[in-house]
Amino acid sequence: MAKHATPLLDQLQSGPWPSFVADIKEEAERRLKNANNVEYQIPVDVCDDLLGILELSYKDGTTHWKHGGIVGVFGYGGGVIGRYCDQPQMFPGVAHFHTIRVAQPAGMYYTTEFLKQLCDLWEMRGSGLTNMHGATGDIVLLGTTTPQLEEFYFELTHKMNNDLGGSGSNLRTPASCLGDSRCEWACYDTQELCYQMTQEYQDELHRPAFPYKFKFKFDGCPNGCVASIARSDMSFIGTWRDDIRIDQEAVAAYIGGEIQPNGGAHAGKDWGAFDIQKEVIDLCPTECMWLEDGKLKINNRECTRCMHCLNVMPRALRIGNDRGLSILVGAKAPILDGAQMGSLLVPFMKVEEPYDEIKEIIEGIWEWWMEEGKNRERLGELIKRQGLAKAIAAVGLTPVPQHVMEPRHNPYIFWKEEDVEGGWDRDIADYRKHHQR
Amino acid sequence: MAFVSSGYNPEKPMENRISDIGPRHASDFFPPVIAKNKGQWLWHEICEPGILMHKAESGDEVYTVRCGGARLMSIGHVREICEIADKFCGGHLRFTTRNNIEFMVGTLAEAKKLKEFLNAQKFDGGSHKFPVGGTGAGITNIVHTQGWVHCHTPATDASGTVKVVLDELFEEFGQMRMPAQVRISMACCLNMCGAVHCSDIAILGYHRKPPVIDHEWLDNLCEIPLAVAACPVGAIRPTKKEIVTEAGETKTVNTVAIKNERCMFCGNCYTMCPSLPLSDQTGDGLVIMAGGKVSNRISNPKFSKVVVAFIPNEPPRWPTLAKTIRKIVEAYAGDARKYERVGDWAERIGWERFFEKCGLDFSEHMIDDFRDPAYYTWRQTTNFKF
């Protein structure tokens, strides 16, 4: 028998998509039954009370969670988000309901051994509810009490050799696509770079010293499966600068209809026979491809590596061999100054251990942002306020046409004094010798 | 319940302390076939909806079965996922960035058997536990935020709105009849933890009432200068006000005043100052945005645009939201060209046709008036359609 009636939430148990309500209800029952005699460290009815307070929100049309407050583990300023409900008398099981962010492995592969260990730990010291995963990429554990934070952290580090993720005004948990672990298009080892940068900047990840949040994301190619260009302050996108490799036999097989285009992605509808002219050559944004004697030709110098032809014919076309990444900066969601897309800072860089070149860019940007950024100003907003040229200068690069879509529309150029012959100091008396008042 | 110590000693917090070790290395978790062929993959194909095959230079093949998850998962559910991975995949699995679960096996026959097994798993209430799909030119899982389940600033629920939209579009998850992939994302307030601002279709929780001011407590709970500075439109200023307290006492307090007509309801003041709540049963609701993408394929990445300025919160099943998204999806599926994303389609036919074909009303709320970028969205040509 459920602790609270939830007539509204119950309507979310039907319908084919997995029901989070059904799942929470089953967890509530499991906790009550406690078949394994777990020594629960937070209230046994936490899941029941979560359903109860959520039902109240469904009735009232507003949230019942209060502001965080300062909770965390010793020495860290991030990784835990304090959460309290505003109806603790009605729902004591969730009076304290803090979130813990746990650092996820890059690419989010797991062994069941690791996951089961995490489940055991969270069953005893938390609500038994998780997000797999949160929007930034962390494993999110929903709901525990303050006395359990250090205990959980001690076991996470000692038993599982794993750390907390980031929250607050610091480096957020970096995330990557699955990269070359299972994808033919990864232009660099996204998982390795993500891991190495996470390790390098543990201090920035756990101890808030920034004006606001800062996100790294690592995409292996311009398809952008972790959306780095839209949602990371610094986005690392794999690319190459030599020629696309062509297997002409496979091209012929696509033309002949022996291989399905786009890996078979369009199999659910009859789009007619594959037409390489219409579906590849004419859709190439730079018009750098053509057929000659049945062979596909590419003027690689004009290619912008948009990925379309590779996506359509993955068995015929492969990324080049001179691989690396582009770095874009300043992407963010609307708060506060409107949404921003990442802007190109580094057109191309090789990815080579110990990644010193990449670290120089990261640290150059941080130094500038920490010096100039206002409280709660994202990097993108600072770049907008002071100009992209300042960001380029901050990392010691030379401006190139790749930095812009087009040159400036207005001639309001902020010349610096040192740019102008003779400087800016002039003598009015000298001027008046030739110009009457 | 007795307190069980982990071994942590609060008297000596540094004793045996381990910190700053970061996550585990991904290679600790790779299935053998992934570890063996990393960096050596040749190509892939989608064998059928929800089943991918990757071919390596070694000749090895790995078959991945992808199934949708609700993001919010209990440990009982995660343990069930583990059981499946133990039984079929040698104890390995992975999650995708869109909250899908991927099980990897060695042959197509095993993958098909696993797909059948996963599709047969149901919750007592009747919903699927592990529906297989989410590949190719279809609609994959909707990424979302915390909503009323766990967040202090949402304008709507996230898990619930996503559940009803995916119930509505369920068959699209398991098939691939769209012109290109359709990425739907959900964020329960403008903070956009879910970064929905570059999605083919975006669901966004939105407040429409300026903050209500808790004068009696404000000066105790907030730094007034921080609250003032938090407002991006300069609508908040410090002031003094004579109030009658909850205890009936009359007194003058330091507080803030808000120019309501300037407010664009971003909620940043509330984040800085809990005495300025803005959520409201009738004020809050949803915005639908469309036409964004993050891929560089064919056209540049682009932002989502507001196509429905307001839909009321209608818990528990948000019927207007689900119906409106279905209309957009059907118009796109019927009209766009192969490989054309929602935004590319809208740009080709023109946004005036987009509204017409999707059966959506246009209003003044869709004309941008927020700072400089607004100018670039107004039409500066006579090349429009009637």
Other CB atoms within a 10 A radius of the CB of residue A154 amount to 20
Chain A: residue nearest B52 by CA? A263
Please list the rounded mean pLDDT of every run of 10 residues in chain A (437 residues): 94 98 98 97 98 98 89 94 96 97 98 98 98 96 97 98 95 97 98 98 94 97 97 97 98 97 97 98 98 97 98 98 98 92 98 98 98 95 97 97 97 94 96 96
Chain A: residue nearest B150 by CA? A65
- Could you give the CA distance from residue A310 to residue A243 in angstroms, rounded to a whole number? 12
**A131 vs B71: CB contact, 8 Å cut-off?**
yes
- Could you give the CA distance from residue B259 to residue B18 in angstroms, rounded to a whole number? 50
Q: Which two tokens stand for residue B56?
A: 């390596």
Q: What are the angstrom distances between the C-alpha of A71 and each of A67, A77, A413, B228, B244?
A: 12, 9, 48, 26, 34
Half-sphere exposure of B181 (CA within 13 A, CB side): 24
pLDDT band at B214 (very low <50, low <70, confident <90, very high): very high
Å from B133 to nearest chain A CA? 12
Report the C-alpha dihedral over residues A10, A15, A16, A18, rounded to 10 degrees. -30
Question: What is the value of ipTM here, to two decimals?
Answer: 0.97
Other CB atoms within a 10 A radius of the CB of residue A99 amount to 24
Task: Considering only the beta carbons, identify the residue of A150, A226, A375 that sits closest to B10.
Answer: A150
Average pLDDT over residues B332-361: 98
Chain A: residue nearest B273 by CA? A67
List chain A residues with CB under 8 Å of B62: 182
Whole-model pTM: value is: 0.97
Pick from B115, B12, B25: nearest CA to B63: B115
Q: Is A423 exposed, middle or buried (0-12, 13-18, 19+ CB in 10 A)?
A: exposed
Using one digit for the tens of pLDDT, what is the confidence trace for B91-140?
A: 999 999 999 999 999 999 999 999 999 999 999 999 999 999 999 999 99
Using one digit for the tens of pLDDT, what is the confidence trace for B223-271?
A: 999 999 999 999 999 999 999 999 999 999 999 999 999 999 999 999 9
A23 CB near a chain B CB, below 8 Å? yes
Q: What are the angstrom distances between the C-alpha of A141 and each of A81, A194, B71, B192?
A: 10, 22, 11, 20
**B295 vs A224: CB contact, 8 Å cut-off?**
yes
Helix (H, G, I), strand (E, B) or coil at A234: strand
What is the DSSP secondary-structure string of B237-253?
EEEEEEEE-TTS-EEEE
- Could you give the CA distance from residue A156 to residue A165 in angstroms, rounded to a whole number? 12
Place of tokens 């062979």: A295
Which H/E stretch holds residue A113? helix A112-125
Task: Considering only the beta carbons, identify the residue of A163, A267, A314 that sits closest to B23.
Answer: A163
Report the C-alpha dihedral over residues A174, B145, B114, B135, rounded to 10 degrees. -80
Other CB atoms within a 10 A radius of the CB of residue B339 amount to 24
